[in-house]
Structures are given as C-alpha cells and as structure tokens.
Amino acid sequence: MTEMSHRLAAGSLSSRQLVEEALAAIGDPNGEGSRAFLTVYAEQARAVATEIDAQRRRGLVASPIAGIPVSIKDLLDEAGQTTLGGSKVLVGQPPALVDSTVVARLRKAGAVIIGRTNTVEFAYTGLGINPHYGTPKNVYDRATGRIPGGSTSGGGISVADGMAAGAIGTDTGGSLRIPAALNGLVGFKPTQRRVPREGVMPLSTTLDSVGPIAWSVADCALLDAVLTAETVRAPRTPALRGLRFAVPKTFFQNDLSDPVARAFTAALARLSAAGAIIVELPMAEFAQAPNINPKGMITASEAYAWHRKYIKDGAEKYDPRVLARIKTGETISAPDYVELLTLRREFVLSINRAAAGYDAMLMPTTPDIAPPIADVIKDDESYYRINGRMLRNPSVVNLFDGCALSVPCHQQGDAPVGLMIAGIQNTDHHILSVGRAVEAVVSPPRS
C-alpha cells in the first residue's frame, strides 16, 4: 500500500490500474474471490478510481491511500446496503441509512472500496468457516485447503490474493490477527476506544475493536491513521538495540505446535542478535485470563442480548455452531456478568503494572499453523477445540484492553506463523513503531 501510494504520486501507476488488477484477482475462476467477497462493487470502484485519477491530475489528493482498493468486512454499515454479518438471518432487513464512521472516513480519504468481505457468521469464531457463503482457503497449501482464520476471513484472503491492498475488519478476540498470522500478513488490533464503532455490527461491546489487515506494519499504520482520523504519517522505525521486550512464559507458550515453537524461538534469537533485550519472565498475572472471560461468557452474554430478537423467530437460519455459542449467553445472571466486568477491570490494572518498563510484550499469535478445513468441520468436538486454540493467545489482548500487531515470523516457504507484539492501552503509536523494527528482522521477504 505504501509502495502503491508512492507510485501513484509519481505517476507510474493509476488508481484505475489498481482497481482492474484487484477485480481480475476477484474474478479469477481458479481463485477465492467468490468465497472471499459477499458483494463486489466493480462498476462503482471503476468510477471512483477514474474520478480520483482525474483529481490527482488536477493536484488534488485526499490522503496517501487515495485511489487504493480496500475491502471492508460485512459488519460495517454502508448507506443503501443491508449489513448481513455473513449470515442469512438478516436477509431482507432494511438497508443502512448512513455509512458507519469508519466507512465514511475511508471514503473521505479517497480509498476505493472494492467490496464487502465474507466473515464467520456474526464474527463468532476464529476459524473462518462459513456454511452459508463458503469458506475461502488459506493462501498456504491451497491443495489441502486450510482454514483462512477468522473471523475476518474474507478480508485476510482479499489481501493475500491481491484482491485488495488492505482490509478493514473487526477484532473481538483475534479476528484481525488470526487471519493475518495464518496467511503471512500483518494485522493490527488498536486500543478499542481509538476507532469509532458507530455503524459496526457488534459481537461484544466490551471487547470489539476495528482495525486493518495489510502486507506491512507501515500499511497498517496508514490505515489506522485514516480510521482514527489522525494525521497520516509513516511511523518512525526505532533501532532495535536497547529495546526491552517481555516474553511471558505463563499461558501463551503452553502446548505450542512444533512449527510455531520453532518460528517463535528463531524470531526471539534474531531479535536478540540485533541488539534487543529479550526478558523471559513468568508474568503470572496472565494465569488469570481464563477466569476473566470463562467460556467466553462476557462475549456470549453481550452477543445474546443483541441476537435474542432474531433467535426468537429465526433460530433455524443460524449456523448451528454459532447459535450454540450465542445461546450460552442466555444462562448468565446479571450479578455474574457485572462481577466478570469487575474482574476484567482489575485484570487490566494488573497487566498495566506487569508490562511497565518494557517496550512491548512478545508471544506467538496462535499456537498452531492453519489446520485443514476438513479436520475442523468433521465434528463439533474438533471445531470447538481448534477454535479455542486459535483464540487463546490473541483474545487475552482484548481482555486487558491492549493493542497488538501480528507480524509474520516464519521462514520463507514454511507455513505462516505470526509473532504478536502487544502493548497496554493507548500505546498504539509506539507499538506500530516498534513493530516496524521487529518486522524488518523477523519477517520473511515477500516473494
């Protein structure tokens, strides 16, 4: 995206060219476009690109992302479109009257919205499986057919396959970082309050965030600035030497698969060799994470409150596995819900104290590489077990209201593995800066 911006500015590339390339990738009969996108705005995108090219010739450039194709998750309202949330439940509901705040900001910045991307139904798992609209295959090992990661499944594949330069999605427990990690991309979950959620279909009002997936930290920083309506500037890249990284041994490194363990260990070694100070320590505060949102009860209770009116008359339209998770929220009492929110506030404070004095915390984004789709959907036990593993590490950042990047840290040619670079709330700019330095040392070159 940053390279595209420079080429657009230099006149060696046009927005219309970018849009045509993106549309060709979406329409490739051998590709994943039909499963990655629910709606494609071909003619609208061409018209917007043509107008932006004309403006650029007149010296009018709205922002560095002007004229660049971006996909949006099917949770973000657009005026005149019905937001479906990757479901059949809301088919026939009235269209949105106005754009969500983030969509309005993208349009103001000149982004070309290429289409609406597929998602796990109502964003409620980390796998990327959607029985209604299909499941786009992971960019790695297409012959086997591996999960894309979720819930921003179509968004991740749209970037990985060149159907968009960046994707905007949501992250309640890893839904940006998981597809980024499993497809060799960069995903950024910002501090929740920095990006407005007006006009974004909720999963958990306590834990939802809105952010980008792209090819690099710099690209994510560009999109983050647009989403937050901040001045667009490239984050500085600090020297690694002397940066202090905490590596929690509690929770995050439990039962890692061999490919993830090898990639994570190698990434830490490369950072240390580059002069970073790697401090492995217990950080036992993280042992409390499973007690803060036991069996996802904060998420489920908030999801059930939103969905109960639809479940009442249309339960049969839901993905049964998603419905089962939502309905667990029916069982929690108000006092228990309030107690969980109190525990969460205490958890946030404890992690803030534990992380003090470090530039970031480092952990594997997911404990496994992407498993085959067939292994995930063969039975309920496999589905829920694998989903729990995918969500385990990234969801903790949402619990302590932090911000985090996932950057690739595998060897070129190996299955993608993500390294998570996490910070406490409102350290987003620092994490993006540190992320650029880390990325330069641990990420494989783009082929």
Query: pLDDT of 364-421, one tens digit each?
Result: 999 999 999 999 999 999 999 999 999 999 999 999 999 999 999 999 999 999 999 9
The whole-number pLDDT of residue 180 equals 98
Looking at the predicted structure, is the pLDDT value of residue 93 above 90?
A: yes
User: Active-site residue among 5, 63, 73, 137?
Assistant: 73
Residues 1-20 have pLDDT tens digits of: 999 999 999 999 999 999 99
Phi, psi of 388 (to 5 degrees): -60, -40
State yes or no: is 151 an active-site residue: yes
The whole-number pLDDT of residue 289 equals 96
User: Active-site residue among 5, 15, 151, 406?
Assistant: 151
Single-letter residue type at 249: K
Looking at the predicted structure, is the pLDDT value of residue 236 above 90?
A: no
Is residue 447 very low, low, confident or very high in pLDDT (cuts 50, 70, 90)?
A: low
Is residue 24 very low, low, confident or very high in pLDDT (cuts 50, 70, 90)?
A: very high
Mean per-residue pLDDT for 327-354?
Answer: 97
Mean per-residue pLDDT for 313-331?
Answer: 96
Looking at the predicted structure, is the pLDDT value of residue 235 above 80?
A: no
User: Active-site residue among 15, 63, 71, 175?
Assistant: 175
Looking at the predicted structure, is the pLDDT value of residue 152 above 90?
A: yes
Going edge to edge, which strands form the sheet with 112-117?
37-40, 112-117, 69-73, 166-171, 209-214, 186-189, 403-408, 418-423, 360-364, 244-248, 277-281
Q: Could you tell me the domains of the chain?
A: 2-228 (3.90.1300.10), 244-442 (3.90.1300.10)
- Token pair belonging to 153: 């499944």
Looking at the predicted structure, is the pLDDT value of residue 234 above 70?
A: no
Looking at the predicted structure, is the pLDDT value of residue 446 above 90?
A: no
Residue with tokens 């088919």: 91
Q: What is the dihedral of CA 231, 237, 243, 244, to 10 degrees?
A: 50
The set of residues, in sequence order, having a beta carbon less than 8 Å from that of 2 and lying 6+ positions away, is: 64, 216, 218, 219, 222, 234
Looking at the predicted structure, is the pLDDT value of residue 237 above 90?
A: no
State yes or no: is 34 an active-site residue: no
State yes or no: is 73 an active-site residue: yes
Gap between the Cα atoms of 4 and 194, Å rounded: 26
* pTM greater than 0.95: yes
Residues 193-233 have pLDDT tens digits of: 999 999 999 999 999 999 999 999 999 999 999 999 998 77
* Average pLDDT taken over every residue of the chain: 97
The torsion region of residue 410 among left (phi > 0), alpha (psi -120 to 50) and beta comes to beta
Q: What is the dihedral of CA 252, 253, 258, 262, to 10 degrees?
A: 100
Mean per-residue pLDDT for 308-326?
Answer: 96
State what percent of residues in the chain have pLDDT above 70.
99
The whole-number pLDDT of residue 163 equals 98
Mean per-residue pLDDT for 89-111?
Answer: 98
Residue with tokens 């667009």: 232
Single-letter residue type at 403: C
